[in-house]
Amino acid sequence: MARVGFIGLGNMGGGMAANLAKNGHDVRAFDLSEDALARAKKAGCLPVASAAEAAEGAEAVVTMLPAGTHVEQVYQDAVFGIADTAAVLIDCSTIDVETAKRVAEAASAKGLTAVDAPVSGGIAAAAAGTLTFMVGGSQAGFERAEPFLSNMGKAVIHAGASGAGQAAKVCNNMLLGATMIATCEAFLLADKLGLDPQKFFDIASVSSGQSWSMTSYAPLPGVGPETPADHDYQGGFAAALMLKDLRLAMEAATQVGADTPMGARAAELYQRFAEAGNAGIDFSGIIRMLGDGQNPTPG
């Protein structure tokens, strides 16, 4: 088993670090929050006083931070010049593609190997060790990161070169945002046309309108499997995080000159939804805004 430095023990990182410890690794954990450090200690990690202390002597340094600026700063201040050149640097945060590439290049210039490895799956999947990792980096980097990622997830996929993990993540979540809005619209129209939502779910789930947003995450209470809709849209994947990912997707699209009208519209609608006081509400709750505050009523 290995020594692992883990930096960023928030909603996601806390569960991920706990799973590394559960798999027998010696996890040196750091966060700016004392509460997060205390939780990590309870979960079997060794809290340390700085990010540099977490990185020092580690075989793998995992970061799970809010955004690209945090990752870049932590790498500059506490990882470069401190982590062993034999270590693999694994950034699991969702950040912009350009920063992910820049960080990997800077690491490489210092003789270090870095991969971007953002995740699909929320807080529950992080705690359960069932995340999906999409990895960008060299084959050698992927092979070194894979055993650690397998301890925290159910699927680890090599997406391509540096930045490819983040590219896969923003494209996936742009698709998710757009299909969720389309699914909400379909339920609202079906209701106005007099269709029972459960009947519509039964039909669309086995027809060509099927998608994860429909079948696994239906945005209506009492329809389909249990989802945040059954808990007044609490828990799940916050609208603020969906908006963050859609903005990253739009930024990436602008950089490469891709035309993404559905993604752009989804970003506008989630911005409106979040700004109306719903940033902490599950992203499927946008059905209320699209339906003028009304859910279709299961008949």
Catalytically active residues are 169
Q: Read off the tokens for 4.
A: 């692992």
Tokens 């060299």 belong to which residue? Answer: 138
Residue 288: CB minimum distance to ligand NAD, A = 20
Closer Cβ to ligand NAD, 40 or 188, answer by number = 40
Span interacting with ligand NAD, options 32-40, 97-105, 141-149, 267-275, rule CB under 6 A: 32-40
Q: Is 8 in the site for ligand NAD (CB under 6 A)?
A: yes
- Would you call 242 exposed, middle or buried from its count of C-beta atoms within 10 A (0-12, 13-18, 19+)? buried
Closer Cβ to ligand NAD, 95 or 178, answer by number = 95
Q: Is 249 in the site for ligand NAD (CB under 6 A)?
A: no
Pairing of strands 3-7, 60-63: parallel
Task: Please name the residue ranges forming H helices in 151-196.
Answer: 164-192
- Give the residue nearest to ligand NAD (CB): 10
Three-state DSSP class for residue 129? coil
Closer Cβ to ligand NAD, 172 or 215, answer by number = 172
Residue 7: CB minimum distance to ligand NAD, A = 5
Residue 285: CB minimum distance to ligand NAD, A = 15
Residue 75: CB minimum distance to ligand NAD, A = 10
Q: Is 32 in the site for ligand NAD (CB under 6 A)?
A: yes
Q: Is 93 in the site for ligand NAD (CB under 6 A)?
A: yes
Asked if residue 136 lies in contact with residue 165, where contact means CB atoms within 8 angstroms, the answer is yes
Residue 236: CB minimum distance to ligand NAD, A = 8
- x/- letters, 119..158, toward ligand NAD (CB under 6 A): x--xx-----------------------------------
Q: Read off the tokens for 123.
A: 């807080």
- Would you call 208 exposed, middle or buried from its count of C-beta atoms within 10 A (0-12, 13-18, 19+)? exposed
What contacts 24+ positions apart, CB below 8 Å, involve 264-267?
A: 265/178, 265/181, 266/174, 266/177, 266/178, 266/181, 267/177, 267/243
**HEC assignment per residue over 148-163:** HHHCCEEEEEEEECCC
Q: Is 91 in the site for ligand NAD (CB under 6 A)?
A: no
Contact residues toward ligand NAD (CB under 6 A) are 7-13, 30-33, 36, 51, 64-66, 70, 74, 93-94, 119, 122-123, 237, 241, 244
